[in-house]
Homo-oligomer: A and B are copies of this chain.
Amino acid sequence: MLVKSQASAVDRRPSIDLYDLIGEMFPINRSLTGAGVRNTLGIVARHIDLDIHEVETGTAVLDWHVPKEWNIRRATIKTLDGKCLVDFAENNLHVLGYSNPVNGVFSRAELARHVHTLPDQPDLIPYRTGYYADDWGFCLPHRLWLGMNDEHYRVEIDSDLSQGSMTYGEFLVPGETRREVLITCHVCHPSLANDNLSGMAIMTALAMRQSERRGRLGYRFLFLPATIGAITWLARNEAMLDRIEHGLVLTCLGDSGPFHYKQSRKGATIDRAAAHILKHCGEPYEIMSFNPYGYDERQFCSPGFDLPVGCLMRGVHGTFPEYHTSADNMDFVKPETLVRSYSTLEALLDLLDRDCRYQRVDGRGEPQLGRRGLYRAIAGQSEAGGATQMDLLWFLNLADGQHSLLDMAIRADVPFARLEAAARLALDAGLVRLVAAA
């Protein structure tokens, strides 16, 4: 159920142009492995000091093995008289991901077994993969395929599947403590703008921002091929997983739909924090229960790990018509929604970092605000330092060492930032002391 949020978001802006960054990465062909991911992470690495990890084909990771590396140079379907009908160079969605190489003349009937189309969306190219299918294939508009009535076609895919490595990127902004926020996105989709270049661009901007400040928490950003990337990272980092206090998977954040936040499997502070931020972000949103399908939250929330990881998106996989088609292009993502997604995430990261508990030093009863210059009329709800009188009263009432600022903000039903402002007023007046992080 969509919920109307209560207030407008603060106006925070990324230090790079998100839409331009997506545009730069859009033409590259990406898959689980290969040059496309490497080139994409190279673009990201121009903005942040990204660690590039290469994991050799065949490496055992939990129940899986790292697959062969796939690279492709060119792919076409031509008429026998040489007219090119389908060309990978025009749109990399045309080739089934992980296609074997092929070169020859095929009858239309033979070719049909390797052609994928969308009869209900006849002008769109579908996005399909066959990672473990040992097959080859083409994806094309249904209308084009209907018009291809020759008896034979010349088909070429110049690709190779070979011993190599899988590439992923990792960037850690250390915090004052060893506790961390994990933020991940998938990087294995070819020319799809929303799914998931939007996530990659926003994560890059968030990483840039966090690298310019030192927070209480560390921030670990992972750019992962879906599933196998997450599994690989988990397998290689089991010893440090207890550091992860909150986690977020980012995807599909550039379309014009409402926010969707999918809760973690076990229920965690990230779920309460995300719901609170969305309630006050000024856009409609929906909270979804955890389910074991979707993005890499499936891996992070699997029973052996069960990490506190949720997923933030706008459009939900499989539910919007552009999903996994050539319509998920540069027209489908909007500069302004990208920025609003970014600013909402900034607010969420700030909340996680700044959430803490305070205790009153004077102990009992209400303090006398008047002689400290903190007493103002409630009726007018006049502000001081971003907090109303009522915010200050809520803060002082709940500053018992048990309630975190997030607890207070949820109970008072006002934005976190206002409770934080109240805390500053009280701290400056010597009324409270910091007890601990939340």
Contact = CB atoms under 8 A, between A and B. Distances in A.
A367 B63 CA distance: 5
A62 B234 contact: no
A291 B365 CA distance: 14
Contact of A298 (B265, B360, B364, B366): B366
Contacts of A238: 364
B360 A304 contact: yes
Q: How many identical subunits does the complex contain?
A: 3
A293 B390 CA distance: 7
A127 to B, nearest CB: 13
A355 interface: no
Given A306-B400, A360-B303, A370-B132, A292 B365 contact: no
Given A303-B360, A366-B231, A132 B397 contact: no
A299 B366 contact: yes
Contacts of A366: 63, 227, 231, 292, 298-299, 302
A393 interface: yes
B397 A265 contact: yes
28 contacts: A62-B363, A62-B364, A62-B365, A63-B366, A63-B368, A64-B365, A132-B370, A227-B366, A234-B364, A234-B365, A235-B365, A292-B394, A292-B396, A298-B393, A298-B397, A299-B365, A301-B397, A302-B365, A302-B396, A303-B360, A303-B396, A303-B397, A303-B399, A304-B363, A304-B364, A305-B364, A306-B400, A318-B379
Interface of A: 62-64, 132, 227, 230-231, 234-235, 238, 265, 291-293, 298-299, 301-306, 318, 360, 362-368, 370-371, 378-379, 390, 393-394, 396-400, 412
